[in-house]
């Protein structure tokens, strides 16, 4: 058993290792949900702890103060001895800045794994920074509160955790494990972090974990880019009784969720499955699981959904047809940045979750949106779509995001390409059960 644990910990450490003593948390993986990033943080923290006698860690830098970075920090605080110190570097002026105040976005631990067993369970059931489904703003509030509790329990002296906010300069040298920064040190009060004095410096760490996520979204030339996590009014009927036309560009989860919000009356991610399938939901899930298992996770499911169109999806299609919004119209631009997509059926690969692909299929079958293969600028000009109603959901340029932070980026390009191709940071619970103490437990 000991050998198995050591082997597992060694394999996890290798999967996350960007260079000796430097680790990249999930930025190049598939399944980029909050929950999956938290699972990866648990796995990495546990692997480092299991290997602590061979590779001792006393001074850790966590780059990124989002939910993934806070989970990594709390895991390290709870596992390692009190002499291990954690420094968090966050570019913005508070922790969990992306999801804070995001009242219009719903977070669920596993709904993007649907129809897998347990994918509708509302709780994350994590040993560190646990939460349940809800508005993104509520999840951020829960995570921040729990992070404060972990600090109270494992870093009460105020010396184990340092937090720098509002970074005006940040560069890391991975080979030397050094960080150059200009930022503002904060003072913690419960779950809040007030700013103290700005300072700059160069610090060498035993270990650096890049938990900086994926970067901000990119957009089409000439159109404003509004983050997926910023509040908007897409799901609300216009109060002036006018009809609004939108162009949604993209076919990942972000684009398809916005498509649903714009075209389905009273759309809610937390209830839509129950509303579409009712008492037949478990039967539908079983059929989906069996057929998806047969064709594989990477398969295009358009033909599968077409086979379901006259049986399994009849009730759902009728429900959607009765709920198509009357105050909006949407054109879905799916050609991709390079115009490589030429047919609707081509967007049903693994670029989005099964649930959102099902929703797109049902809406299309109901005639709820049109397709566009023109470049967004040309289409909007010809069809009179206002600039603020062109939604570009292209995801982030993660490699550029990393390049902006890493001084010796060119030395790491081969390793980054390997990590992107291999995608070995699986979002499964690989840590030893019971290893993480909670804030109220005694450390052995």
User: Which of 377, 392, 407 lies at the terminal end of a domain, its last residue?
Assistant: 392
Structural domain includes residue 432: no
- How high is the mean pLDDT of the chain? 93
Q: Any idea what the Cα angle at residue 5 is, between residues 439 and 62, rounded to 5°?
A: 50
Q: What is the pLDDT of residue 196?
A: 84
**pLDDT tier at 442 (50, 70, 90 boundaries)?**
very low
Confidence band of 54 (pLDDT split at 50, 70, 90): confident
In this structure, the answer to whether residues 273 and 149 fall within a common structural domain is no
Q: Is 28 helix (H, G, I), strand (E, B) or coil?
A: coil
Decide if 76 is inside a domain: yes
Same domain, 118 and 146: yes
Shared domain check, 322 and 199: no
Between CA 247 and CA 233 the distance in angstroms is 15
Q: Are residues 42 and 175 in the same domain?
A: yes
The answer to whether residue 236 is domain-embedded is no
Quick check: 1 pLDDT over 60?
Answer: no
The reported pLDDT for the residue numbered 223 is 80
User: In this structure, is residue 238 part of a structural domain?
Assistant: no
The reported pLDDT for the residue numbered 441 is 52
Q: Is residue 434 part of a domain?
A: no
Length of the chain: 444
Helix 354-365 / helix 314-321 crossing angle, nearest 10 deg? 70
CB-CB contact of 58 with 84 (8 Å):
yes
C-alpha angle 114/119/120, rounded to 5°?
105
In a domain, 404, yes or no: yes
CA dihedral 357, 361, 364, 369 (to 10 degrees): -10
DSSP string, 364-385: HHTT--EEE-S-HHHHHHHHT-
Domain match, 194 and 53 both: yes
Sign of CA dihedral 181, 184, 185, 190: negative
- What pTM was computed for the model? 0.94
Q: So what's the pLDDT on residue 221?
A: 67
CA distance 188 to 164: 11
The structure tokens 């050591």 sit at 6
For residues 197 and 271, state if they share a domain.
no
387 with 401, same domain: the answer is no
| Apex 355 CA angle, 351 and 359, nearest 5 | 100
Residue 217's pLDDT band (cuts 50, 70, 90): confident
Q: Where are the beta strands (DSSP E) in 7-84?
A: 17-19, 22-24, 59-63
Q: CA separation (Å) from 30 to 23, 341, 444? A: 17, 21, 36
Query: Residue 290: pLDDT band by 50, 70, 90 thresholds?
Result: very high
**Structural domain range at position 313:** 244-392
Give the pLDDT confidence score for residue 443 in this predicted structure. 43
With left for phi above 0 and alpha for psi between -120 and 50, is residue 70 left, alpha or beta? Answer: alpha
Do 123 and 184 lie in one domain? The reply is yes
Residue 430 has pLDDT above 90, yes or no: yes
Domain count, the chain: 2
* Structure token pair of residue 403: 């390049």
Q: What is the tens place of the pLDDT at every residue in 357-407?
A: 999 999 999 999 999 999 899 999 999 999 989 999 988 788 899 999 999
Give the pLDDT score at 444: 40
pLDDT of 348 higher than 70: yes
- Confidence check: pLDDT of 439 > 70: no
Same domain, 388 and 406: no
Say yes or no: 200 and 248 in one domain: no
Q: What is the pLDDT of residue 120?
A: 96
> Tens digits of per-residue pLDDT, 146-180?
999 999 999 988 889 999 999 999 999 999 999 99
Q: What is the pLDDT of residue 156?
A: 87
Residue 436 lies in a domain: no
In the block, tokens 């993986």 appear at 29
List, for residues 221-271, the tens digit of each pLDDT value: 678 778 888 899 899 999 988 999 999 999 999 999 999 999 999 999 999
Q: What is the b/e burial string over 286-296, where b = at least 16 CB atoms within 10 angstroms of the residue's CB? A: eebeebbeeee
Q: Is the pLDDT of residue 218 over 80?
A: no
Which parts of 235-332 fold into alpha helices (H)? 253-263, 272-277, 281-295, 302-308, 314-321
Query: Do 121 and 102 share a domain, yes or no?
Result: yes
Same domain (yes/no): 27, 117: yes
Rounded to whole angstroms, the Cα distance separating 258 from 264 reads: 10
Query: Do the domain assignments include residue 226?
Result: no
Structure tokens at 27: 């930025």
Residue 212 CA to residue 195 CA, distance in Å, equals 21
């Amino acid at each position: 058993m000991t050998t198995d644990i050591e082997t597992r910990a060694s394999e996890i450490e290798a999967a996350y290792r960007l260079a000796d003593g430097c680790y990249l948390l999930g930025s190049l993986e598939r399944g980029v949900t909050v929950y999956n990033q938290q699972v990866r943080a648990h796995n990495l923290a546990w692997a480092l702890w299991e290997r602590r006698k061979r590779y001792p860690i006393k001074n850790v830098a966590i780059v990124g103060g989002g939910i993934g970075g806070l989970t990594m920090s709390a895991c390290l605080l709870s596992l390692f001895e009190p002499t291990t110190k954690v420094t968090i570097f966050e570019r913005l002026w508070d922790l969990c800045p992306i999801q804070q105040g995001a009242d219009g976005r719903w977070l669920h631990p596993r709904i993007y794994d649907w129809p897998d067993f347990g994918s509708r369970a509302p709780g994350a059931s994590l040993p560190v920074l646990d939460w349940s489904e809800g508005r993104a703003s509520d999840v951020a509030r829960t995570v921040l509160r729990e992070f404060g509790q972990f600090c109270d329990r494992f870093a009460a002296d105020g010396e184990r955790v340092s937090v720098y906010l509002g970074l005006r300069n940040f560069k890391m040298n991975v080979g030397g494990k050094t960080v150059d920064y200009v930022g503002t040190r904060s003072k913690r009060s419960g779950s809040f972090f007030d700013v103290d004095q700005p300072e700059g410096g160069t610090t060498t760490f035993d270990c650096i974990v890049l938990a900086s996520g994926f970067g901000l979204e990119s957009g089409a030339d000439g159109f404003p880019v509004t983050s997926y996590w910023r509040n908007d009014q897409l799901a609300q009927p216009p109060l002036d009784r006018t009809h609004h036309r939108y162009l949604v560009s993209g076919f990942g989860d972000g684009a398809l969720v916005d498509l649903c919000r714009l075209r389905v009356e009273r759309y809610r991610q937390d209830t839509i499955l129950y509303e579409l399938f009712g008492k037949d939901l478990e039967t539908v899930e079983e059929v989906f699981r069996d057929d998806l298992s047969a064709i594989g996770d990477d398969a295009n499911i358009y033909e599968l959904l077409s086979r379901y169109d006259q049986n399994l999806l009849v009730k759902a299609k009728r429900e959607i047809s009765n709920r198509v919004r009357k105050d909006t119209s949407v054109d879905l631009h799916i050609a991709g940045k390079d115009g490589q997509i030429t047919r609707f059926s081509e967007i049903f690969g693994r670029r989005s979750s099964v649930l959102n692909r099902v929703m797109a299929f049902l809406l299309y079958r109901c005639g709820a949106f049109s397709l566009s293969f023109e470049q967004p600028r040309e289409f909007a000009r010809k069809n009179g779509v206002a600039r603020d109603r062109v939604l570009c959901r292209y995801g982030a340029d993660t490699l550029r995001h990393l390049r902006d932070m890493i001084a010796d980026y060119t030395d790491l390009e081969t390793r980054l390409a390997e990590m992107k191709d291999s995608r070995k940071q699986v979002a499964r619970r690989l840590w030893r059960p019971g290893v993480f103490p909670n804030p109220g437990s005694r450390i052995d």
